[in-house]
Amino acid sequence: MNICEKELLLGIQQKSKFRLYNFMDCVALIDRGNFRKHQEDSILVSERLGNTLMLVADGMGGLEDGAFASRMAAIDAYYWFQNLEIHDFNFIEQIKEKYESFIEKLDIKIRNSCDGGTTMLLAIEVENSVLCFNIGDSRAYI
């Protein structure tokens, strides 16, 4: 388990104003900024079977539990990714299907667990490709 995963699971990211993670060939940065009283964002860099997951979940600041929702989304994505099987990484369509099922369950869980929401960008590096999935206005740029 890398430090980014550990601090996400332990809730340390939510207590940080600023945190920089270096993992393999990735750099991830979380910064609360100057206007919020607490961190509402969660980030994750994780590896499984030679594939890398990169995620940012941006808690919706206008809602009460944005920080809780972003952390829940990132933690659930961590466990979803860690439970993918080796053959899942061989078929992009299979990853897409599993992701869609995961997101449907996550949406219901967040709606039932808190008065908040999150946007999310999840990218999976598979061999020489990167699959990007977004929810809300989180996005990736090449």
Q: Give domain status of residue 115, yes or no.
A: yes
**Residue 104's pLDDT is what?**
96
**Residue 57's pLDDT is what?**
93
Q: Give domain status of residue 142, yes or no.
A: no
Q: Give domain status of residue 90, yes or no.
A: yes
Q: Give domain status of residue 140, yes or no.
A: no
In this predicted model, what pLDDT tens digit does every residue of 4-30 receive, in sequence order? 999 999 998 888 888 888 877 778 888
**Residue 33's pLDDT is what?**
77
**Containing structural domain, residue 68:** 3-135
Is residue 68 over pLDDT 70? Answer: yes
Is residue 91 over pLDDT 90? Answer: no
Q: Give domain status of residue 57, yes or no.
A: yes
**Residue 31's pLDDT is what?**
80
Q: Give domain status of residue 141, yes or no.
A: no
State the total domains in the chain.
1
Q: Give domain status of residue 72, yes or no.
A: yes
Mean pLDDT calculated for residue range 88-101 = 90
Check which CATH number belongs to the domain holding 61 and give it. Answer: 3.60.40.10
Q: Distance between CA 62 and CA 58 in Å, rounded?
A: 12
In this predicted model, what pLDDT tens digit does every residue of 22-64 receive, in sequence order? 877 778 888 887 877 778 889 999 999 989 999 999 988 666 6
